[in-house]
Structures are given as structure tokens and as C-alpha cells.
Amino acid sequence: MGAINYIAIGVVTYGHPEVVEHVLENCFRTYQACQLDVYYYDSSPDSRTEEVVKSYIDKGYDNFYYLRLPEGMGSAKKAELFFSGYGLEKDYAYLWLMKDRVMVESPLLLSLYEVVMLDKPDVVLLNGYGDHDSTSELITDPADFYKRWGWEVTSMDTTLLKRESILKGFEASKRDYTKDEPIFYFLHYDTVFRRLADMNAPQIRVLSGPHIKLFSSPKGSPGWMNELFDIWADRWIKENETLPSCYDEYKDEVIRGRALPVELESKEGLLWLRDMGALRREQLPMILKNWNRISELPETILYEVLE
């Protein structure tokens, strides 16, 4: 299809060989047929993920690449390395950061290649979770994009970034990030909105439709349940507050719109989070400080749930 060197996927992974294997079993033919190169940025404590990926490389699937990184390296540092071009074997036009459990099918890839080859936008956003009508919308105002789609950008899998514009000159930091820093969780999100704020009328293409679908392997799951409130009731708020002033008008709206899932909308949902270990009494002072920014429920309901 003449799409060689257009898109590279960067998969960040740690200790999930069974997830990586399941995704590859279901996607390797599609990725090769669509000439899609996939790089695995792995900081696992053992070689099992490496063995899975290299088993495909050894079979002749030359669109897969494996990069061994220092054990325990966080996803933010891996994202930085990918965005800076570390380990890339070709000069790709777009980089697509992805969690290791995400799977992509050919209808989405065909639509995506058409957009990046013909329109060449600075950012492509895939409205890929849920059911939506088929649309292709062009947005040129970063603040409008932030207001309407900021919540979607928090999922790293949803955006492709053009290297010669939004990632131009990107360099990886020489220091590590700690979990106390919002960027530890939101480097991708931070990069998108800071870079867009510095651009004049950037071209942002939002794709929706039944064929724009991102799937997750049933063998994978979010790894931050125990940190749920630390992330979304604290780091998320701080991250948005530090973004450029062009977004100020919409920050509170975006914070509340994405802060936490529907579990915050009812007592039953909070009870479920408590039972899952995500809502704990020792977190109460931190949660109360920001509660009115992430939920419309009264503060008293937290005390009831945590009795």
C-alpha cells in the first residue's frame, strides 16, 4: 500500500509477557500486511517478554523490534525515548505510543494511513473507545481541542504525533521522574498540549466511527488501581494546572470531565472502589481537598463509604 515508514508504534511494557504474546498472536499478520512497524520498549525484570517478541523476529517478521531498557524504567521515560527517536530503525512520519495490551485491526489502520498520507495533520486523535458515528473533523484551535478532547488524550493509545512538527526537536530528559510528579503519569498528555500551545493553527484531525476501534487484550488490565485517587484526584489536577494559560478557561471543565470514571457518580460506585482497594481511609485528606473538583457528590458520602 506504499505506507512504509509512515507510522511506528512504540509499545511500553513491563512484566507482561502473556499480554504481549496474546496481542501478537492476534495482530502480527495485520501489522505485517499493513506494513506497520512495532517497537517494544521493555524494562521487565526477566527475559520472557524479549523471548516472545524475538520469536516473531526470528520467524522473519521484520516489522517487530525489541529494545531492552534498564529494569523498572517507568512508562514516562520510555515514552520520552520513543518520542526522541531512540532505537528507531527508519525515518517515520508519525509516532504512535501504545500500552502493551492494546490491539488494532486493519479497518482502523487503513483509515489512518489515508489520513496521514493525504492530510498530513500534526496530530491524529482516534476516538476509539465506545460507539460513534463516522466523522473526520479538523480542529485548528488548541484550546478548543483541549476543551472537547482533553479527556481522550489521557489515553496514550489514542494519538499519533507528527515528528516534523509536534515532536520536532524533542529530546529525552536526562533525569528520572518520581511518582510525586504529574509528568510521571502524564508525559504523553503534557507533550501534546504544551507543543500544541506553541503552534500557530495546528492541524488536528479527530477520527470517529465504527471502524475506529481500539481493543484491549483480556489478559491485560490497568496497573494503577491502587493509585487511582493519587493519580486522578491529585496528579491529574496538578498536571492541568501547570499547562499553558491558553487552556485556563477550560481547565476546571476538563479536570472534572476526566478525573475519574462513573464510579464517582454514586455511592455504589464508591463502595466498589473501596472494595477494590482503590479508595482508602488514609487518602481521605488528599481526596477531600480536591473533591469538589472531581465529583458532584457531597463530601459526607466519603465518610459514609469509609466507615
Retrieve residue 37's grid coordinates: 512497524
Half-sphere exposure of 152 (CA within 13 A, CB side): 19
CB 212 within 8 A of CB 104: no
Q: What is the mean pLDDT of residues 240-269?
A: 86
More confident residue, 256 or 81: 81
Q: Is 195 exposed, middle or buried (0-12, 13-18, 19+ CB in 10 A)?
A: buried
Could you tell me which of 187, 168, 6 has the C-alpha nearest to residue 80? 187
| Average confidence (pLDDT) over 199-208 | 96
pLDDT at 264 over 80: no
> In this predicted structure, what is the pLDDT of residue 5?
80
Q: Of 71-85, 130-144, 263-277, 289-303, where does the model show the most confidence?
A: 71-85
Span 81-120, pLDDT tens digits = 999 999 999 999 999 999 999 999 999 999 999 999 999 9
Average pLDDT of 131-148? 92
State the pLDDT at residue 98.
97
Measure Cα distances from 127 to 64, 103, 196, 214, 241 in Å: 26, 15, 19, 9, 25
Q: What is the distance between the alpha carbons of residues 195 and 197, in angstroms, rounded to a whole number?
A: 5
Domain boundaries, the chain: 7-221, 226-305
Choose the weakest-confidence range: 17-31, 156-170, 289-303. 289-303
Output the pLDDT for position 222.
74
Taking only the tens place, the pLDDT of each residue in 58-82 is 999 999 999 999 999 999 999 999 9
Angle among Cα 158, 213, 272 to the nearest 5 degrees reads 80
The CA–CA distances, whole Å, from 273 to 265, 293, 295, 305 equal 12, 18, 14, 10
Judged on CB neighbours under 10 Å (0-12, 13-18, 19+), 48 is middle
- The residue count of the chain comes to 307
pLDDT of 162-201, one tens digit each? 999 999 999 999 888 998 999 999 999 999 999 999 999 9
pTM: 0.93
**For range 253-272, the mean pLDDT:** 80
Amino acid at 275: D
Q: Does domain 7-221 have CATH number 1.10.3720.10?
A: no
